[in-house]
Structures are given as C-alpha cells and as structure tokens.
Amino acid sequence: MERRKKVAFVCVHNSCRSQIAEALGRRYAHDRYEFLSAGTEIAGRINPDAVRLMKSIYGIDMEAAQRPKKLDDLPPIDILITMGCNVACPNLPCGHREDWGLEDPTGRGDEAFLAVIGQIERKIKSLDL
C-alpha cells in the first residue's frame, strides 16, 4: 500500500481554521492523506464556537480527537497549507505549499464560522495534491 501524504494545516493559534481543516480532512480524504494541524503559538483549547458547530453539522467532536499543537509537534510533512494568517505564515520544509487565505471567524457570529467551514469543506473535497 502506498504511503499517504502528510498534510499540515497551519495558522497562528491552531485553535479554529486549522483544526476545522484537520477534522474535515479526516472525514473526507483520510484514505488519500494523513491530516495534521499546528500553530506558531497555541491557544489553550480549540475555539468553542468551532467545536459546537462541527458537532452540530457533522457530528465531529474535535475536542475528543484533536488538541492545539505547535509546529515542533509535527512530523516531516509533504504538503503545507496555511490558512491565511494575516501575519508572516510559517514556512516548513515540504514538497508543496499553498495558502488558502481564509478569514479568521473568531469573535464573530455563527454566520462567519459557517462561511469558513463551508470554504474549508469545498477545498478539502477538491484536494488533489
């Protein structure tokens, strides 16, 4: 069996967008890729609004399967996807890098979260790296 490529979703705090991407990646493309996430700094926990909405929409309990992680926690990766940090995004050795340029919905209403979750789901479903 061919080794699955390791995909790391990275943003600053590893508490919202990158966690959502890791969870949806595992849901929709776990047979092709191994999904991870990390941040340059980490929050104490995954964003509660993201946790609530992912449970409500997909039945995914991110707190049960995931935790905020720092870049140092990542193994060597094949693909780096940054979320659109609006700061200097980290650069890790990898074979492919892209930025998804997603707005951080933290501190905004459910509408903002739902828009970002929808964007991430569409991008995950179209991954072909």
The one catalytic residue in 43, 71, 74, 89 is 89
Catalytic residue of the set 23, 51, 80, 85: 85
State yes or no: is 89 an active-site residue: yes
Catalytic residue among 11, 53, 54, 116: 11
Q: Among this protein's residues, is 16 annotated catalytic?
A: no
First to last CA, the chain: 18
Strands 5-11 and 79-82: parallel
| Cβ-based neighbours of 9, under 8 Å, separated by 6 or more | 17, 18, 21, 22, 25, 35, 36, 37, 38, 81, 82, 83
Secondary structure class of 92 (helix, strand, coil)? coil
Annotated catalytic residue 94: no
Q: Rounded CA gap, 71 and 83, in Å?
A: 14
Active site residues: 11, 85, 89
